Amino acid sequence: MTVRKTDNLLRGDRTPAYVGREIGAAELQISPDTWDQWVKEGRLPPPCDAFPSGTARWRWEDVDRKLSGYKVADTGAAMRGLRTLARRRESGVTLPEGVEKKTIRKKNGKAYTYYY
């Protein structure tokens, strides 16, 4: 059964961060079968792999970006890269081109390192 956006009184007009195929299809006013076809064709991104199998969910931001013609960002890979960079910052690793390191010491004595 297709769930229509107007039938969901709990959320109102707010789209959740992650959607299943039925909610996603209702947001786009298409059928769940069309949603599946668009995923297969690459018009929509693949589901996130963070959910258990059998619980396919899409990050709505990725769906929106893909339909707008922008590249879907792999934020998981970016965050893993930043954590790796932070762990290696004192081990003599050269920062990638275009990345700058800035360390700020606050009045409380703590030092914070930022990478731009």
Lookup: tokens for 70: 């922008």
Calculate what percentage of the chain has a pLDDT beyond 90.
Answer: 28
What does the pLDDT average to over 84-110?
Answer: 73
Please report which residue ranges of the chain form alpha helices under DSSP H. Answer: 21-28, 32-41, 60-67, 75-87
Amino acid in position 114: Y
Q: Report the mean per-residue pLDDT for the chain.
A: 79
CA 12 → CA 4, 8, 16, distances in Å?
12, 7, 10
What does the pLDDT average to over 88-110?
Answer: 75
pLDDT score of 95 more than 80: no
pLDDT score of 32 more than 60: yes
Give the residue from 98, 74, 78 showing the smallest Cα distance to 86: 78
The pLDDT of residue 90: 56
More confident residue, 21 or 94: 21
More confident residue, 20 or 7: 20
51-71 tens-digit pLDDT: 777 889 999 988 998 998 877
The pLDDT of residue 83: 66
